[in-house]
Amino acid sequence: MYETVAIRRLQRTVLIHRIVQILLCALLIYMALHFQQLFQAKDEPHVFRNSLLATLLIEFALFFPIRRFASNEAQREFAAAASHVTAEQQKQLRQQRLIGDTLKGAVFLGYTAFILISPPATFVLSTAFFCFIVTVITYLQCFSFAVHKGMASRTAA
C-alpha cells in the first residue's frame, strides 16, 4: 500500500516538474528576446551571442554532476517508497533528503546573489540568468528521466 502511494506521489512530482519546465522554457525564451533587444539597442549584438555560447559551455561542464545528483535523488525516492524500510533507513534517507535540499537551496541562493549583484544589461547578467534557468531545467529533466527509468525497471522486474 505504502509503495503505491509513494509511486503516485513520484508521478505527481514528475508532472509538476513538466509544468515547471514548460514555464521555465517560456521564461527563458522571453528573457532571451529581452536581452537580445537590449544588446541590439546598445549596438552590441555579439555580447548576446557570446552569452549564449558561455551558457552552453558552462552547462556542458555542469551536466554530468547535475545528472548524477538527480539520479541519486531519484534513487533515494525509490528507496523511500519501498514497503520494507526500517526506522534507521528512514532516518538516513531523511538525512540525505535534507542534504540534497540544502544543496539545491545553496545553488539557488548562489545564482540569485550573483544575478542581483551583476551590473544591469551586461554579459555577466545574461550569462548568469541563462545558466540558472538552464541548470534548473537540466536538473528537472534528469530527475524525470531517472524516475521514468526507475519505474520502467520496477514494472519489468
**Residue 7's pLDDT band (cuts 50, 70, 90):** confident
- Joined grid coordinates for residue 56: 552552453
Going from the C-alpha of 142 to that of each of 58, 85, 138, the distances in angstroms are 17, 25, 6
Section 37-61 average pLDDT: 94
3-state secondary structure 104-143: HHHHHHHHHHHHHHCCCCCHHHHHHHHHHHHHHHHHHHHH
Section 82-91 average pLDDT: 84
Percent of the chain with pLDDT over 70: 97
Return all residues near 50 (Cβ < 8 A) that are at least 6 apart: 123
**Cell 534517507 identifies what position?**
93
Section 47-63 average pLDDT: 96
Going by C-alpha positions, the residue among 84, 65, 80 that lies closest to residue 135 is 65
pLDDT for the residue 136:
97
Going by C-alpha positions, the residue among 155, 116, 152, 157 that lies closest to residue 14 is 152
Instruction: Inform me whether the pLDDT recorded for 31 exceeds 60.
Output: yes
**Residue 157's pLDDT band (cuts 50, 70, 90):** low
**Residue 1's pLDDT band (cuts 50, 70, 90):** very low
pLDDT for the residue 83:
73
Q: Is the overall model pTM greater than 0.85, yes or no? A: yes
